[in-house]
Amino acid sequence: MKFLATVALIATGVAALENGIMLSETYGGPHGRKYSDMYFVSPGQVVKSITIRAGERVNGVGINVVDPLGKPHLVYHGSYGGDNNTLTLGKDEYVTSIEAHWGEYHSHTRVRFIEFKTSGGNTISGGTRATKIGKESAIEGYQVGGFFGTDGEELDSVGVIWTSITPVPTP
C-alpha cells in the first residue's frame, strides 16, 4: 500500500513532508520574496475562508484557518491592489483544487489567474487566463491548508500546502 501512495505522489508532482502534510508544485516565476505558511499548517485544521485579490493579474491570496487547538491564523501573501473576493466555506466544506496561470509582465513572471474549487461545488477565481497553466487536486482526505511561493507587488508564484482533513495521530 505504501508503494501505491508513493506512485500517486510522484504522478501528481506532490512532495510528502510529514504525516498529513504535502506540497504541490510551484506555479509562476522565481521573482519576489519567499513566503510560506508551513509555520502554522497542521493536519486537522479547519479552513474558514480563502481570499483572492486580482485585477488583470493576481495581486495576492489569503487563507483564514483555525488550527486543531482552536487558534486562528489569518494570512495573506502579495499586495492589496485589485478587487477583493473572499469565499467563506460551509461546515465540512474543503478547498480541493487549484488552477494557476502565469506569464511575463515587465520582465517578471507573475501569476495571472488563479482558481480554487471546493468539495461543496463552489469556486473562487481572479485575474486573466494565460497559456502557461498548472492544475492540481487534493488526494482523498486532503485539503488546501496554506500556501508557499514568492510575492512582491503581485503574486509571482504560488504553491499549495495540502493538509489532512483529519488530525494524524503522532507515533
The 3-class secondary structure across 96-139, one letter per residue, is: EEEEEEEEEECCEEEEEEEEEEECCCCEEEEECCCCEEEEEECC
Q: What is the pLDDT of residue 106?
A: 87
Average pLDDT of adjacent 10-residue blocks, the chain of 171 residues:
34 61 96 96 97 98 97 97 98 98 92 99 98 97 98 96 90 64
Residue with cell 501569476: 111
Q: Where are the domains of the chain?
A: 2-164
Which CATH number describes the domain made up of 2-164?
2.100.10.30
pLDDT computed for residue 19 by the predictor: 84
pLDDT for 15: 58
Whole-number pLDDT of residue 168: 82
Find residue 124's DSSP bridge partners: 116
